[in-house]
Structure 1
Amino acid sequence: MSLETFLLRVDRLAGGRGAGIMISEDARTHPKTARAFRWITWLLVVELVIGVGALVVAMLLATNGESVGFAVWMRTVVVLGMTVTLFYFAWRAKLGWRWGYQRLRLFAQIFPVITLVMAAIPGLYPAWMVTEQIIFSLIMIGIADFLTSDHMREAYRKPAPTT
């Protein structure tokens, strides 16, 4: 089985019924689309760096004998896993798969809310992680802003039903 065949199976799992819908080549290669994905990629790289940084901080604290709570460890693992997933969605969306755009936009709009609510729970995370979560949320809001622009919504609009 080729890599692309495998990825199409993953796409079917992640994208559901709409997994096979692609946007037009003109919309995919439009300069505004390309620019949006350049920004989104860089913002996701920043998210990845922040996530790895949080893991490094937690590891340093733990190796120096400080107590690092289970919530901190889970948060770092979840953020890194989520960021990898968002890279996959962005990559597939950049190739023109509508489902990738939809998933990326959905998560970019939902994750900041969840993250900020979790950060607001008193005593759940140390101050450094609350700060990390706020920064993470702001970057995700930036990604969502690119994805919900008029151009991107038009480029990835739902195709008209066929008769």
Structure 2
Amino acid sequence: MGEVRVAVRVRPFLPKEVLHNHQLCVRVVPDTVILGSDRTFSFDYAFGPTARHAQVYKSCVKPLVASLVDGYNATVFAYGQTGSGKTYTLGGGHVAYLPEEESGIIGRVAADLFVLLGERAADARAAVDVRVDLLDIQTGNKELHIREDDRGNTGNTTHSVLGCV
């Protein structure tokens, strides 16, 4: 079984929160979130509201993309209540085109994945085929299988990040 790493990101205030003069109720210090004056919670990664998407991605997710290209399983799981910032962290915004610096985790994973796959194909002088079965219209009629080795493992190791945003 692989290791699980946990990250927390405190999202920036929404415009309506700024308008209503809301105050921040948490502080983030390296790998720790402090609620009020004395309740501390430690994480593998902790990001405050001024953290940029690039910082979160580079610290938590980019290493997973590299290991994914090497054949390992990788999972990024965003968890949190409505309005906590999951969409903000994963997507970066609500428009079809975002400048690169505003792109969230999903856009950055896609971009890096294709760069790494392109490099791999160029090094091997071979083509790389990418399929996303869950987005295939015909998938609803197919049975998707999880591939395992003879011991029931889905890979040599699994790296996961649980993102509480």
TM-score normalised by the chain length of structure 1:
0.30
Q: Whose strand proportion is higher, 1 or 2?
A: 2
